[in-house]
Chains A and B, each alone.
Chain A
Amino acid sequence: MADARGLRFEKVTISLGAVRLIELDCTIGPGEVLTVMGPSGSGKSTLLAAITGTLDPVFDMAGRIRLDGRDLMSLPTEARQIGILFQDEYLFPHLSVGANLAFGLKPVVRGRAARRARVEAALAEVGLAGFAGRDPATLSGGQRARVALQRMLLSEPRALLLDEAFSKLDTGLRAQVRELVFDTARRRALPVLQVTHDHSDAEAAAGEVVTLA
């Protein structure tokens, strides 16, 4: 089903008690970006939690979320193939940069040498060749952002969620990292949903914008 590709929301509503936080009925096609904007407390992160399957039980959710035609609702987080980037990179502080990437790399890549080669290649792709042995705490902000992106990509997600992913970076770096993320998503034909409160993120995405009240 070619028309089923992408991240699809079918009459999704999320409410907290009697308050309806989110109503969404749309499809994000491969390589497209949907930007969700709204003040804090409007339920942006709640929407992302519904997609990753980490929604707090206090919320009630109705409707269906499909990724490439597959119903996500019955799947645990780890089987959903959804990549997510937060404002903080959440690199595992106890693992080296290389081990962080290897954590994301699928187990189907077998053999120590093959896995190491894949990790090295992923690092080289973003200008971080030779960083595998480094302690993540010693990286700069831009370097951490790139490691987090590559770690996520190695897990071969089929959609990408951005939760205020660029808001901690300063202006120059922000544009640079943003361009890298959006280019990569387009090249890999990933549907992207970003939540942000910054208009420059929305403009850079050049996609549809939904504003939550």
Chain B
Amino acid sequence: MRAARATTAPPRATRRARFLPWAPLLTLAVMLGPVLAGLAGTLAPALGYMPALGGTGLSLAAFDALFAWPGLPRAVALSLGVGFAATALSLVIVTLICAGWAGTRAFGVIERLLSPLLSVPHAAAAFGLAFLIAPSGWITRALSPWATGWGRPPDLLILQDPAGLSLIFGLVTKEVPFLLLMTLAALTQVRPGQSLRVAQALGYARVTGWLKVIFPLVYRQIRLPVYAVLAFSMSVVDVAIILGPNTPPTLAVQVVRWMNDPDLAFRFQAAAGAVLQLGLVLLGLGLWRIMEVTVAALGRVWIASGARGRRGAEQAVRLGALVLGGLAALAVIAGLAGQVVWSFAGLWQFPDFWPDAFTLRNWQRHGPRLAGPVMETLLIAGAATFLALLLTLASLEAEHRHGLRPATRALWLLYLPLIVPQVAFLMGFQTLSIATGVDGGRAAVVLAHLVFVLPYVFLSLSDPWRAWDRRQDTIARALGAGPDRVLWVVRMPMLLRPLLIAAAVGFAVSVGQYLPTLLVGAGRVATLTTEAVALASGGDRRVIGVYALAQTAAAFAPFTLAVLLPRLAWRNRKGMRDG
């Protein structure tokens, strides 16, 4: 007889128990089905096939039209350049912060500053940045007129600059917290303390020792998140609408413009553009991989050289990393503060640093109109998060009860929806949902959000779930409790905090979704995010401030609950303080 657990399924196994082994597969299907079907649904019109619009044959006409667009070379270059610059900058900042400061008190402060910023939606952070760096923004106001001599906003193209610098800056402020959190998770597995002490005992300076001994181990763990950042930065739409250049915009933004063009013939061109965007991301990943190999080879030479690092240079690097990391955090925090001020601002003339008066008028005027989008946002995020949590829990329980081993390849599958550019498959997903008659509805939008919410919920919950001490299970089972009772009475309460955090992460991801809501909702499902981004072109900072703040609050509130609720529930349980 082989292995006890495999053969000791309870005789009174319920129908549910027979569903459980299928949960991981169902989860993958829910997550990857729309991606694959969507890709197919994008590829078909790109090749001229879209019966609804009279395309029945195969042709490359759509690509001809795409390549005939004069803005294409610049749009492609922008996408590649912005993606690489934002990813490389974020990675360098995060790496140097960790190399220079991990384990110190300053690091704890940075961590506490940056982590909450992860939940700030991309669009809100981008608006915040725009409020700061615009020609009439807070930074010029702070310097005017005493330092600049400007009595009116300068005629400078700082926002939406043609080189995409403000877009890169905006992306870096959001990707630094993400990569930092991923790196922190990797660090807990690498246990860097001892290796670093050994390196230091051998005479290596701190940053040099960290880069040579710890970084290679950490990078292996954060490779997939880095790929996700690269793919996201190359193909992001909402941030690019707010901060990116206009004539031409990045490729992804142009594709969305074509899709929303009243002339439906542009659909074919849009599909071709979406396919090109996918190719671009694949090319970008390939180039990044070549860079990885090159850097690794150079790194090996550097390690073999035995160079210990110079103290002076080390201090400069440490300080530089701290300043850059601080700047990224400050940009988001000051941006949010700017939104608060603008949303309560009465008359506010340039170059005054503060408004003449604070008023509730903006909120009174726009507040009532917020109710609809707020409800829609909460409903969609709540449903998507609930489904994601259910599927994740069922998968993890199936893994636990049936002794399934997660394959390393499964991790790739989890990252797939985060790496395939949204425009590339959402367009096809929209076409298919029209064909199946579920388009434009809340349900379809929830399903589309689930594709992105699931990976984050799973990634967030799986580590603490798997790290739970199995003997706790043995003890409870030996006391006579069946697997269901152990799950509900022991495991879930003990893992309450990670469960709520995972839910909060999922909720925030859903709140921040722009493109899935816009495309799959066919423009008829209005959430805080779609409304806020739609306001971008109007440029009324008071309204934008109101909407962006509401959006941030919707994403942030669940995190507050996830931190407070366990503290309240376990206030009399010392053993649950860190759990």
Contacts and interface: CB of A to CB of B under 8 A. Distances in A.
B50 interface: no
A93 B573 contact: yes
Interface in A40-86: 49-50, 52-62, 73-84, 86
Contacts of B476: 92, 103
A137 B578 CA distance: 13
A138 B576 CA distance: 12
A157 interface: yes
B4 A135 contact: no
A135 B573 contact: yes
A54 B470 contact: yes
Contacts of A29: none
A61 B4 CA distance: 8
Contacts, number: 117
B4 A83 contact: no
B489 A136 contact: no
B482 interface: yes
A132 to B, nearest CB: 13
Contact of A77 (B2, B478, B489, B572): B478
Contacts of B4: 49-50, 53-55, 61, 73
A59 B4 CA distance: 9
A8 interface: no
B572 to A, nearest CB: 6
Nearest to A60: B2
Contact of B3 (A52, A61, A103): A61
Contacts of A103: 476, 479, 481, 489-490
Interface majority SS (helix, strand, loop, mixed), chain B: helix
Which of the four size classes fits the interface of chain A? 35 or more
Contact of B479 (A53, A61, A138, A151): A151
B573 A90 contact: no
Nearest to A148: B475
Given A50-B4, A73-B1, A73-B4, A94 B479 contact: no
Contacts of B576: 93-94
Interface stretch (B6-14, B51-59, B185-193, B518-526): B6-14
Contacts of B570: 94
Interface string A134-177: 01111000000000000110010100000000000000000000
Contacts of B470: 54
Interface string B470-489: 11111111111111000001
A81 B190 CA distance: 40
B574 interface: yes
Interface string B103-127: 0000000000000000000000000
B572 A135 contact: yes
Contact of B494 (A82, A94, A155): A94
A155 B480 contact: yes
Contact of A94 (B1, B473, B475, B493): B493
A89 to B, nearest CB: 9
A67 B548 CA distance: 66
B567 to A, nearest CB: 13
A84 B490 contact: no
A55 B474 CA distance: 11
Contacts of A199: none
Given A92-B494, A135-B573, A61 B477 contact: no
B579 interface: yes
B3 A57 contact: yes
Interface in A121-138: 135-138
Interface centre among B2, B11, B470, B478 (most CB of A within 10 A): B478
Nearest to B495: A94
A20 interface: no
A90 B472 contact: yes
Nearest to B494: A94
Contact of A79 (B2, B3, B10, B475): B10
B3 A106 contact: no
A73 B8 contact: yes
A138 B574 contact: yes
Interface string A87-124: 01010111000000001101000000000000000000
Contact of B474 (A52, A74, A93, A137): A52
Given A61-B3, A103-B489, A155 B472 contact: no
B5 interface: yes
Given A55-B5, A61-B3, A137 B478 contact: no
B475 A84 contact: yes
Contacts of B403: 56-57
Given A73-B8, A93-B575, A138-B574, A157 B478 contact: yes
Contacts of B480: 78, 81, 104, 106, 155
A143 to B, nearest CB: 14
Given A86-B471, A93-B579, A136-B575, A75 B478 contact: no
A61 B2 contact: yes
A78 B481 contact: yes
B5 A54 contact: yes
Interface in B453-504: 469-483, 489-490, 493-494, 496
A82 B574 contact: no
B92 to A, nearest CB: 41
B2 to A, nearest CB: 6
A133 to B, nearest CB: 9
Q: A-B pairs with the 6 shortest C-beta distances? A: A93-B575, A137-B574, A57-B3, A77-B477, A137-B575, A55-B4
13 contacts: A50-B4, A61-B4, A74-B7, A77-B474, A78-B479, A79-B10, A81-B480, A84-B478, A92-B472, A92-B494, A94-B496, A103-B481, A136-B575
Given A76-B10, A94-B573, 16 more contacts: A54-B5, A54-B477, A56-B3, A57-B6, A61-B2, A74-B8, A74-B11, A78-B479, A78-B483, A83-B479, A86-B475, A92-B472, A94-B576, A103-B479, A103-B490, A135-B574
